[in-house]
Amino acid sequence: MVMKAAVLRKWIPAVLAPAVVVAVVAGVSISATAQVKLEPKTPQQLVEMIAESSVTDFSGEARATLDLGIPQIPSLGDSGLMPPPGAEPLSDPSAAPATGTQTDTELLKVLSSLSGTHEARIYADGPEKSRIQVMDGMGEENFIRNGSTLWKYDSEENTAVHSTLPEHSGEKPARNAAVPTSPGEMADKFLQTMGQDTEITVQDSTRVAGRDAYTLELVPRSGDSLIAKVSIGVDAATGAPLEVVVDAVGQQEPAITTGFTSFTPEAPDAEVFEFTPPEGASVSEYDFPQQSLGLHNGSKETTEHTKNAMMPEENIVGSGWESIVVLPAKDVPEDLSGDGLLGQLATPVEGGKLLHTSLLNVLITPDGRMILGSVSAARLQAAANE
């Protein structure tokens, strides 16, 4: 079976929801020692403040620190996947020898990116102009959108990928009646949904990126969740989320700290979004799949295709913090379910092999299924037997 590059990326956000989903959407570190005095707000008022925030033009520097307890990553040695005697673990996934499969190389890159500290500069001017500059050592990756034009540029490799968003004649996805239409309605919906299995409070005010901020704290009411709490730093002046910190059960340091270290709620210079590949750069074209943009013509067939591609409900067990994805054997690449890299990182447990991180457990069953969730191993094993 050929490895689909999006397999893990597709499901990990589902099982870590809402914690990692919040972090990704906020795109944003809380300074617990720098407290300030702000007007008191209830959780509902703060959620409503976030919903009413109209910040679409901004620039800033951001930092993400990840400590997910990833198992030690072996190198792809000459004898298949096992490292040669005395070999050190692979620190640079791109240097993996050709003896490893493409799946293993991709998995190495994913796992390596889920540790350490990553820094970026972020610029936005409305919904159609944005630029993210990710710094990695001496190299830099740029992701740029300017209207319908997209660029991805890797300075270390001197490669650029160009794409044009397809025309959709002003069409918009059909509105879901369940989607709240006002900030107040959104706040009520959020608190009703989260409040069933979450304790939601507003903690001491603080400073984030040099700005006064409120701290909204979410604590799961679950004995099986790997997530201890999620803290969201909210800009007191604009309501924009500035930082997300995710704490894991039994881990002293946060598993995820992602946020702005500087933040300016003003439109950047227009030239920031202009890009021309440097001389000598290797440039390629990419055709953007329309269905991946969430654009459709309103037909029943297209709507169902988009819905099923996003989240097949039959693969989801539980809800909220205890969501579990059960991936059938036919959808799991053989490289992952066999004796490949994932098999080496996993440890034998009752009912299969377990890959454990501080925020995610992955169980590979003898019949080839992959069961993953931000819950205890016991919950995954129970789901495997249902």
Enumerate domains of the chain plus CATH numbers.
Answer: 1-17+297-386 (3.30.310), 18-70+114-288 (2.50.20.10), 71-113 (no CATH)
Secondary structure (3-state) at 341: helix
Q: Where do the H-state alpha helices sit in 206-324? A: 300-310
Q: How confident is the model at residue 314 (pLDDT cuts 50, 70, 90)?
A: low
> What does DSSP assign to residue 159?
E
**Residues of the chain by 3-state class (helix, strand, coil), percent to 5:** 25, 35, 40
Please tell me the distance from the alpha carbon of residue 8 to that of residue 106, in angstroms, as a whole number. 10
Please tell me the distance from the alpha carbon of residue 227 to that of residue 321, in angstroms, as a whole number. 8
Q: Which of 13, 19, 17 is nearest to 231 (CA)?
A: 19
CB 243 within 8 A of CB 232: yes
pLDDT tens digits along 17-34: 334 333 433 334 444 445
pLDDT of residue 190: 65
Is residue 146 pLDDT above 70, yes or no? yes
Secondary structure (3-state) at 260: strand
Please tell me the distance from the alpha carbon of residue 382 to that of residue 386, in angstroms, as a whole number. 6
CB 324 within 8 A of CB 351: no
CA 45, chain centre distance (Å): 26
Which tokens belong to 64?
Answer: 């993400």
Q: Which residue has the higher pLDDT, 250 or 100?
A: 250
pLDDT tens digits along 330-351: 888 766 666 666 667 788 999 8
CB 343 within 8 A of CB 286: no
Please tell me the distance from the alpha carbon of residue 18 to that of residue 7, in angstroms, as a whole number. 19
Q: Collect contacts of 4-12 with beta carbons under 8 A, ≥24 apart.
A: 4/333, 5/106, 7/331, 7/332, 7/333, 7/336, 8/107, 8/110, 9/110, 11/325, 11/327, 11/372, 12/360, 12/372
Which tokens belong to 33?
Answer: 């020692």
Please tell me the distance from the alpha carbon of residue 105 to that of residue 100, in angstroms, as a whole number. 7
C-beta atoms surrounding 174 within 10 Å: 12
Q: What's the pTM?
A: 0.75
pLDDT tens digits along 55-68: 899 999 999 898 98
Q: How confident is the model at residue 35 (pLDDT cuts 50, 70, 90)?
A: low
